[in-house]
Amino acid sequence: MASRTDPVLCKGSYAVDRSARTCTASYPLYIVNGRSKGGVEEAVRRIKRETRDAQVTGVAADLGTKEGVDTLTRNLPAIDILVNNLGIYEAKPFSEITDEDWLRFFEINVLSGVRLGAHWGAC
């Protein structure tokens, strides 16, 4: 279980990079999030392999949905540091982006951070 001094990294589990090495050097426990259980497990293995003595765990949850944010915050009731690098886009002409696309972008790129901040900002 995370405490107020544990950082959480919310970004694609395949994109976990130097930020993981930096945090694990400074904090006792590091929590990684991604959408798929397999991706999170691989990110945890990679960080442990690259960072000696890292205490890393992960929570698979799709933060692009309210349910996913609820899953993560239920498993981590209090944290001190949130690194939220979650975001998507589609490489297609602007005129071809539908209202549904824009709503999905907004929910993932904006509301995920708003929901996390609303929960943990009150901790």
- Per-residue pLDDT tens over the stretch 25-72: 566 677 888 888 998 888 888 888 877 777 788 899 999 999 999 999
- Per-residue pLDDT tens over the stretch 82-103: 878 788 889 999 999 999 999 9
Residue environment code for 72-98, b if the CB has 16+ CB neighbours within 10 A, otherwise e: bbebbeebeebbeebeeeeeeeeeeee
Distance (Å, whole) CA 66 – CA 72: 10
pTM: 0.74
What Rg do the C-alpha atoms of the chain give, in angstroms? 15
Distance (Å, whole) CA 84 – CA 81: 10
pLDDT of 13 above 60: no
Where do the domains of the chain lie? 7-120
Output the CA–CA distances (angstroms, integers) from residue 103 to 12, 65, 99, in the order listed. 20, 12, 6
Q: For residue 53, what pLDDT is reported?
A: 74
- Per-residue pLDDT tens over the stretch 32-42: 888 889 988 88
Domain 7-120 adopts which CATH fold?
Rossmann fold (3.40.50)
